[in-house]
Chains A and B, each alone.
Chain A
Amino acid sequence: GKLCYLVAIEGWIIIVSGVKEDAEESDLYDAFAEFGEVKDLHLNLERRTGYGKGYALVEYGCFEEAQTAIRSMNGTQLLTKTIHVDWAFNRGPIQNVTSARCELNVCIFVLAIALS
């Protein structure tokens, strides 16, 4: 199945993961503002130390801006650390390829049939 992306009712939210521990909101903002107006941004801080727990949510007003941000920034470096950027929400459940475990069961079944 193919993944479709839907987001929040009012906005298009992306998740930026792998954010360096001492990054600040302004660093994220500076990196992502070039793709469109950043409607909202939140950097998740680890409460105990105040350092970043490693992800940020960035919201744009339109799909194209968010998509461009994803395509441009995914796998790039932010403050010397590689970040991954993706949609935060999906329209539906994650459609998996058959897991290795399922494939194994099918193989065993087929073998059992062949041997019987």
Chain B
Amino acid sequence: GAGNGAGEEAGGAEFYLRYYVGHKGKFGHEFLEFEFRPDGKLRYANNSNYKNDTMIRKEVFVSPSVLREARRIIQDSEIMKEDDSNWPEPDRVGRQELEIVMGNEHISFTTSKIGSLVDVQTSKDPEGLRIFYYLVQSRGIDAWYKLGRPFMAFPMGD
């Protein structure tokens, strides 16, 4: 569903983003999820059962500048214009979810894991799926994860 109106970003326009990637397999439910909330709270959870890793959950508050930059990246990607109806369904290999609220616009996409650009190019919607792929593959991830004692990992694709 759409954002719950849980607060508004300074400036009056709501921004919310949630990304999930995971699968349920031999080692249990392995996933990574992060969420930007309109008040700046950034929540991150990473559950990997491989080698008996435990769940990692972190929360931190980001500044309005970070939210602004996240919004800009979303805007520039034009992901809000896309539609997942022709994207591959989640399967045993895995699942990705992307939910974004930006002002009056809301998207909620569900698809399978994307292994590589070949999967994108052979899909029924290569243009749209490519935008999604590059967005979630953003190398911004590494940085935050590295500096990131507080985290923020944009998931690396498999």
Query: Which residues of A are in contact with B by a Cβ distance under 8 Å?
Result: 3, 5-6, 8-11, 13, 15, 17, 40, 42, 44-48, 53-55, 57, 59, 84, 86-94, 96-97, 99-101
Contact = CB atoms under 8 A, between A and B. Distances in A.
Contact of A17 (B10, B39, B69, B76): B69
B62 A53 contact: no
A76 to B, nearest CB: 15
Interface stretch (B20-28, B49-57, B146-154): B146-154
B143 A44 contact: yes
Contacts of A55: 69, 140
A92 B63 CA distance: 9
A3 B63 CA distance: 9
B144 A57 contact: yes
A69 to B, nearest CB: 13
Nearest to A17: B69
B65 A15 contact: yes
Contacts of A15: 63, 65-66, 69
A112 B150 CA distance: 47
Question: 10 closest Cβ contacts across the A-B interface?
Answer: A42-B143, A86-B65, A93-B39, A44-B140, A90-B61, A99-B12, A94-B40, A9-B149, A8-B149, A17-B69
B143 A57 contact: yes
Given A17-B68, A55-B69, A93 B41 contact: yes
Interface stretch (B82-90, B108-116, B131-139): B131-139
A81 to B, nearest CB: 14
A73 to B, nearest CB: 13
Interface of B: 7-10, 12, 38-41, 60-69, 72-73, 76, 134, 137-140, 142-144, 146-150
Given A88-B66, A99-B8, A48 B138 contact: no
A106 to B, nearest CB: 14
Given A15-B65, A55-B69, A93-B40, 12 more contacts: A11-B147, A17-B68, A17-B72, A42-B142, A42-B146, A59-B147, A86-B63, A88-B62, A89-B150, A90-B61, A91-B61, A94-B9
A42 B12 contact: no
B147 A8 contact: yes
B38 to A, nearest CB: 8
B19 to A, nearest CB: 16
Contacts of B146: 40, 42
